[in-house]
DNA sequence: ATGACTGCAAACTCTTTGCACAACA
DNA sequence: TGTTGTGCAAAGAGTTTGCAGTCAT
């Protein structure tokens, strides 16, 4: 069984469990997202999936992403600021770096024990399902520009 | 010297350092934010500050918040999802819990060592200025509603 | 056959921009 | 007095909603 087929089966199983319908839109969008190496916006996901299924619409992308998140197949990445929401394939939660100046969000691998944070949330009657680190500051590009302003290269 | 006066002085000093002007709007907004116990949206900050300075406008709130963040007097809290941006007074970075269902963001105290994450960001040529934990899941209220659906109370 | 799902269009929320006037330095 | 900063109005980006028609079951 191919990897794609296995992913399809997982989606189909989760849909059936809940009595929801298996539609071409859901299959195609799920594949598109699982095929991405990094997070993407709803628009980018639409652009990726559109060639495979013409007439696919942005409202459908949003509603499908909401569904896939409910089914635990997609996550929204945290960010600071007001840009578009970033969605990412489920794989193990990982850290993110968010640039305070340009808003860019990048993945970050860091070995941190987040157990205490999850425990604290549980103690406050929340039902935690994941935890990650968000590091903020200036991204490489913004940091370089900032330095250039303070001390212009001769 | 009162606490408020000390905060004013800090703002004034940072503004002067950069040759920026000290205006009533900046003083009032800074006080409003420092006076809040939790994070707030731009609208909420406007509502809090308006009685003290009539005609204060939302664009001014946004531009002032951007400035205060640049001066390291205010931070934006991370969130998942598409709601309004949350601003919080500078105090030591702390964790947040974000509800996947309703989008609510709550403060969270957790004892986690984020040093490795900051180091990883620095190694990737970013200029990190802080790090925090974001725990996701369902907030107490959404978790209760979810449980009510699966097993209705008799 | 029937109800869930989709696509389209329009509404909505939040944030940013453009420009004339006000006010700090 | 010369800019910087503000307020107003309008535009813009991103997301959500309403509804008629389509399609999975």
Assess whether pLDDT exceeds 60 at residue B151.
no
pLDDT at B92: 82
Helix (H) or strand (E) holding B152: none
Render pLDDT for A37-59 as a digit per residue (tens, 0 to 9).
Answer: 999 999 999 999 999 999 999 99
Give the percent of chain B with pLDDT over 90: 84
Lowest average pLDDT, out of A121-130, B7-16, B53-62, B138-147, goes to: B138-147
Of B77, B81, B114, the CB nearest to A85: B81
Q: What is the pTM of this model?
A: 0.93
CB-based contact A95 B120, cutoff 8 Å: yes
E strand map for A67-149 = 74-77, 86-89, 95-99, 105-108, 127-138
User: In angstroms, rounded to a whole number, what is the distance separating the alpha carbons of residues B3 and B12?
Assistant: 14
Cβ-defined contact of B81 to A79 (cutoff 8 Å): no
Residues of A 82-111 whose CB lies less than 7 Å from any atom of strand D? 83-85
| Chain B nearest C-alpha distance from A8 (Å) | 24
Q: Which of B81, B110, B116 lies closest to A117 in CB terms? A: B110
Q: CA A139, C1' D2: Å apart?
A: 36
d(CA B32, CA B121): 33
Closest residue in B to A127 (Cα) is B138
Confidence of residue B154 (pLDDT cuts 50, 70, 90): very low
Residue A10 φ/ψ region, left for φ over 0, alpha for ψ in the -120 to 50 degree band, beta for the rest: alpha
E-strand spans in B44-123? Answer: 74-77, 86-89, 95-99, 105-108
Q: Which residue is nearest to nucleotide D9 (CA to C1')?
A: B59
Give the per-residue pLDDT at A152: 52
Which of B85, B108, B131 shows the shortest C-beta gap to A81?
A: B85
């Amino acid at each position: 069984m191919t990897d794609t087929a296995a992913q399809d089966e997982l989606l189909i199983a989760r849909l059936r469990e809940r009595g929801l319908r298996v539609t071409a839109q859901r299959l195609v969008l799920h594949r598109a997202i699982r095929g991405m190496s990094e997070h993407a916006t709803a628009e980018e996901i639409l652009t990726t999936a559109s060639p495979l299924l013409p007439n696919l619409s942005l409202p459908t992308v949003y509603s499908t992403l909401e569904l896939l998140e409910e089914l635990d197949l997609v996550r929204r990445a945290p960010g600071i600021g007001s840009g578009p929401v970033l969605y990412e394939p489920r794989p193990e939660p990982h850290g993110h770096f968010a640039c305070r100046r340009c808003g860019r969000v990048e993945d970050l691998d860091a070995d941190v024990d987040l157990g205490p944070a999850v425990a604290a949330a549980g103690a406050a009657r929340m039902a935690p399902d994941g935890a990650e680190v968000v590091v903020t500051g200036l991204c490489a590009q913004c940091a370089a520009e900032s330095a250039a302003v303070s001390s212009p290269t001769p």
